[in-house]
Each structure stands twice: as structure tokens, then as C-alpha cells.
Chain A
């Protein structure tokens, strides 16, 4: 005891105590989450918070009879309904002015896992993480999901999301069966083979405008173990690299990153492939968020642009080189970290945009893009922080399809200010970027904030009129509405 007392009288000991404590606090300072979400008392927003709106009621989904009752009543009374999951869609897809919002997050049970047929039946409000948790002990994994597992099943299917898998096509293709609550309040059981009324074509990638997905049966595959292969490339080498990769049966998943650092702007890339090892896994647990603080620190440095962005790119390359030849399970490859991307700075916003271009146009497209964007955006308001490249296979299954042929999708993380002038500038750049994409027979993704004009939407999605006709045919009272529908389609 005396020794402890003596120790506390030492200046060096107290100094050490402060340093150790401060370091542990530094490490544990929480990463602030964006404040957004559903609320009856104040304005509703989605993840970006750019479109605040008042709604009359938020209903936590509990059972299908209640949901059916709400839909029937709305159909008779003219009430509008929107469907919300985790609200990561950024263009007001999940709410509507003075409408009722169905909060599906509570409708999240795993209903059945069929190990033999490799399927899972799950309610639409469950997240991909919930599904991964349930199927992991069976040695099973999802065929297609986004690279992060934080989204709800219903939300992802409503935007027909895509991820790193290069073999199983669009996410819509992995839906075997579906239970749908139609706008007239009818509950329909749909199967992918027996869907003569083409409900699935409009519900999948239908942005919640054709009814409520209640549950789905998804096709699964084995939880394979992959070896990671990483490589640094010049942008002009990527197209042939990718074409060769597609011919290699050993390759299962793939994505790439393009440099947005000033010194190698759109010149350098690195690729990350997941190759079959022939082994499968039943025991490796799902990985949690790893290295979030370091990743966030690095991204925050990159957010400053200029030399800092060069430093960030070098750090990324080092990290990517360090995971080369490592093994990972399929389930873990499908659940990347997301918390490190949190950004909360008053007066500024970070948004995503995604552009799709045919695989064969990639090289020319990037060359033209280089002329459009500023290589060093340190002093610009409009900043590009990250571009990830992913493959989106040709999609014949959905109406508003973004991949009319095999495409490469460029997922772009953008930051800009919120003053009128700054938003106008960002809109102008994004519209120019969209025009360039259209020039190469490409398109842009619809779950994000709607900077694009209606003309650009029509050019990107030529089937939009058919989509609208079908919407009005199946939902003649326009019960299911959201701000996206209002803006582009109505």
C-alpha cells in the first residue's frame, strides 16, 4: 500500500497515467453517426439528409394483416404510403410528404433455411447481416449482396443492388420466391419461374413503388474460402486485366479502386480479386468492423485533398498489398466496414453517385473523365474522395435496369457544400459527368440523390414510360409514393 502511495507521489508516474489514459480515450472516442431517420414529430430525412419532409405517421411493421389493412385503407382514402428500411437510399425513396411510412426494420425474422436446396426465406426488414448470422452455421453464403451487410433485404432488392460477385449476375436473379403486398392490399405469392404477371420485374429494382416486399426466398451458395489477389495497375491496363479475369473460372469476386490523388489522378488503380481455393468453411465467425479508427483517420486526411490525398492513396496501396495472398471466407468478403465513412461536418454533405459504362468503353471513358474533373480538388468545393469499380452483369430481369449489357460501375464518393451556389456547382459537374456517361452508352444509378435532369433520366432508362404505365396499371390510385417517383416518373 505504501509503495502505491509513494508511486502516486512521483511526477513521472502521474505523467504516464495521463498519457496512458488519454491514449485510451483517444482510441475510444466514438465515431459520430449522421443524425437522420423517421420521425413523426419533426422532419423525416434519409441518409444524406438533403430532402427533409414531414410525414403524418410512421408505422412499425409487425404483421402482414396490419400492413394489408393499411394498404387497403390507403387505397380507399387516397392516403400515400412509402416503404422504409435503413434509409440508405439517398433521393427520398423512403418517404413522401404527408404520407404514411412503413418502417420495415421490425419485420425481420429468418423464416426458413433449407440446407439441401441452399435457400433462405427471410422477412424483408432483416439485414444481410441477420441472414449471414443465420446461414453461417450451415456453411452457406449469399450469392449476391452489396459489399456491406448493413442494408435491409427489402431495400437492397428494391434498388436491385450489386456487389463484388462476378458470377451470379444481378441481385434480382437470386430471388426464388417472394411474398408481395400489392397496392390494392392483396397478398401475392410470386415465384421467379411462374411470374406470368411480371410483378417481380417491377418490384425488384422498383424503388418501393409497386407494393411491399414482405418476405423473399433467396438462393444461396457455399461459404467458400478464397485467397485474395491484389495488384497495382495502370488505368489503361484494367480493361484487358478484367476481360482475362472473367475468363478465369477460378475468380469468384472482384473489385478495383481508381486513384483520385492528385499525383496519380485516374492513372493508377489497384485490383482486388477473390479466387477459389476449393475449400469451404463452417466455423469462421463473421468479422466485425476492424481498424475503423485508423481507416477513418486515413480517410479524414484524404478528405483534405492535395498532398494529404496522395498520402491516403499511398496508405491504401500499402494496406492492399498487405492483404495479398490472405484467405477470407465468402461471407466475410461480403461485409466490408462502413462506419469509417461517417462524415458529419455542418454545412457540408457527402453523397454517393454511381455511373455504369460498358466494359469495353472503360479506358476511353476514364480518359475523357480526366478532362472533366479537377485532379487536385484541395481548393475546390466539389471534391471526389473515392472511386470504386465493380462489375454489374447484364440484367434482363428488372424494368429500370442499369446494366443493359455487361457494365463496370464506378461508385463515387463526393463531398460538397450546402450553400445554394455550392449545390448548383455540384449539380452542374454531376450533370456533365452523366452526359459523358451517356455518351458511352452508360447510365447512372437511381438510389442516390437526384442531381440529374429528367432528360438524363429518360436517356438512361428508356423503359421508364413502360415502368410508369405498369405502375399506374397496378397502383391506379398511386398509393405507393416517394420523392423519387414525384421527381422523375410522375
Chain B
């Protein structure tokens, strides 16, 4: 399998594995359950928008997917580096949810059109299952640490695909 097949796998596995940590973090910054739910709604609406953005694109071969990875990575890094709760945090979180939603929707639309999509889906479910069992034995340092690490991983994937594509 080439980098073109590995990177989407890393992204999809990582997203699912990091999700529980992200939920814990999001719960911590939500002031009420309503707000927590609204953050998810914002993410979903944005993902639909991102998905549609890709689908309506005429030239589907000319996609800078590397920048989508880097964008998602930056969101996770920001999330991981927000040290503590402060008054304006919900406003920032809402913006992050929208950006993440758009990027994820866009990525999902692109991914589902790839040749290796079927194989990657099967593999990603299996890998996630084993990973989550493994992670359950790890004492949580802080959700933010895992989220930030994943952010850096995504940025790495983005740069790698950018370099490979250029070369």
C-alpha cells in the first residue's frame, strides 16, 4: 500500500480513537448540556456543508487533500493547547467545531470516492477495536494531550502527502 492508502487510514483510525477524548474535553468546556448538543449540531451541519462542497466540485482530481489534513491537525493542536476554561472559550469552541465539521465532511466525501475506501473502512474498524482495548489500559494523562498529539500526527500526514505529491 502506498502513502495514498496509508494516510487516509491513519486519519480515519485516529479520528475514531481520539473521539472519546475529544468528547471529554468538549464536555468540560460546555457550560450546559444544551450547549454541548449545540456544538455537535454545529459540527454536523458544517460536515454536511463540507461534504456538499466536495460533491459540487467539478474537477474532483484537483483536490488539495493535504491542506484538509493540516487544517484538521491545526484544530486538534489548538484544542490540545487550550490550557484551561475561560469566559470566551465557548465562542472559540463553536468556531473550531464549524471548521472541523467542514473539513471532516470534505474529507469523508473525498475518501468515499477513493479506490481503497472499502478496504480502509474494514481495516479501520478492526484497528480501532484493538486500539481502544489497548488505550483502555492507559491512564489518561489529559484528554488535551492525546488531542494535541493527534493534531501533530495529522499535520505530519498533511506535509507528507504534500511532499510526496510535489516530488
Bound Cα distance from A21 to B98, whole angstroms:
10
A284-304 residues at the B interface, CB under 8 angstroms: 300
> Does the CB pair B49–A17 fall under 8 Å?
yes
Q: CB distance B49 to A32 under 8 Å? A: no
Interface locus among B71-79, B84-92, B117-125, B139-147: B84-92
| In the complex, chain A residues 1-51 whose Cβ is within 8 Å of any chain B Cβ | 8-11, 14-15, 17-18, 21-22, 25-26, 28-30, 32
Is B45 located at the chain interface by the 8 A CB criterion? yes
* Contact bitstring B77-105, A, C-beta under 8 A = 1, else 0: 00000001111101100100010011000
A451 close to B (CB within 8 Å)? no
Given contacts A11-B56, A29-B35, A29-B90, contact A21 B42 (CB under 8 A): yes
> Do the beta carbons of A15 and B38 come within 8 Å of each other?
no
Q: Of the 9-residue stretches A258-266, A318-326, A342-350, which lies at the interface with chain B?
A: A342-350
| Interfacial chain B residues near A9, Cβ < 8 Å | 52
Is B163 among interface residues, defined by CB-CB distance under 8 A?
no
User: Which B residues are CB-close (under 8 A) to A345?
Assistant: 86-87
CA distance A10 to B98 in the complex (A): 18
Q: Are B38 and A25 in contact (CB under 8 A)?
A: yes
A344 touches B87 (CB 8 A): yes
Known: A22-B42, A26-B91, A30-B32. A14 touches B86 (CB 8 A): no
Contact assessment for A11 and B35 in the assembled complex, using a CB-CB cutoff below 8 Å: no
The listed residue (B45, B56, B84, B88) touching A346 by CB distance below 8 A is B84
Instruction: Tell me how many residues of A have a C-beta within 8 Å of chain B.
Output: 21
A344 to B86, CA, bound (A): 7
Establish whether residues B42 and A18, one from each chain, have CB atoms under 8 Å apart when the complex forms: yes
Contact call B87/A32, Cβ cutoff below 8 A: yes
Residues of B within 8 A of A10 (CB): 52
Query: Roughly how many angstroms separate A120 CA and B130 CA in the complex, as a whole number?
Result: 71
B46 at the A interface (CB under 8 A): yes
Question: For B87, what are the chain A residues with a Cβ–Cβ distance below 8 Å?
Answer: 32, 300, 343-345
A30's contact among B35, B42, B52, by CB below 8 Å, is which? B35
CB of B41 within 8 A of CB of A11, answer: no
Per-residue A-contact encoding for B30-62, CB less than 8 Å = 1, 0 else: 011001001101100110110011001000000
CB of A300 within 8 A of CB of B84, answer no
CB within 8 A of B46: which of A8, A18, A300?
A18
Secondary structure at the B interface, as helix, strand, loop or mixed, is helix
A15 near B91 with CB under 8 A, answer: no
In the bound complex, residues from chain A placing their C-beta under 8 Å from that of B84 are 346
Q: How far is the CA of A218 from the CA of B35 in the complex (A)?
A: 42
- In contact, B98 and A22 (Cβ under 8 angstroms): yes
Tell me the smallest distance from the CB of B31 to a CB of chain A, in Å.
5
Of B45, B53, B84, B101, the most chain A CB neighbours within 10 A belong to B45
Looking at A11, A26, A30, the one whose CB has the most chain B CB atoms below 10 A away is A11
Q: CB distance B49 to A15 under 8 Å?
A: yes
Which residues of B lie under 8 Å from residue A343 when comparing CB positions?
87
A34 to chain B, nearest CB (A): 11
Q: Given the interface contacts A25-B94, A29-B94, does A300 sit within 8 Å of B88 by beta carbon? A: yes
Measured between beta carbons, the chain B residues less than 8 angstroms from A28 are 38
Query: What distance in Å separates the Cβ of A368 from its nearest Cβ neighbour in chain B?
Result: 34
> Could you tell me the distance between the alpha carbons of A346 and B86 in the complex, rounded to whole angstroms?
7
Q: Are A18 and B85 neighbours in the complex by a CB distance under 8 Å? A: no
CB distance from B12 to the nearest CB of A (A): 23
The 3 closest A-B pairs by CB, nearest first: A14-B49, A29-B90, A25-B38
* B contacts, CB < 8 Å to A: 31-32, 35, 38-39, 41-42, 45-46, 48-49, 52-53, 56, 84-88, 90-91, 94, 98, 101-102
Which A residues are closer than 8 A to B by beta carbons?
8-11, 14-15, 17-18, 21-22, 25-26, 28-30, 32, 300, 343-346
- In the complex, given contacts A18-B42, A18-B98, A21-B42, what are 4 additional A-B residue pairs having Cβ atoms less than 8 angstroms apart? A11-B56, A22-B98, A29-B94, A346-B86
22 sample A-B contacts, Cβ–Cβ < 8 Å, listed by A number = A11-B52, A14-B49, A17-B45, A17-B48, A17-B49, A18-B42, A21-B41, A22-B42, A22-B94, A22-B98, A25-B38, A25-B42, A25-B94, A26-B91, A26-B94, A29-B31, A30-B35, A300-B88, A343-B87, A344-B87, A345-B87, A346-B84
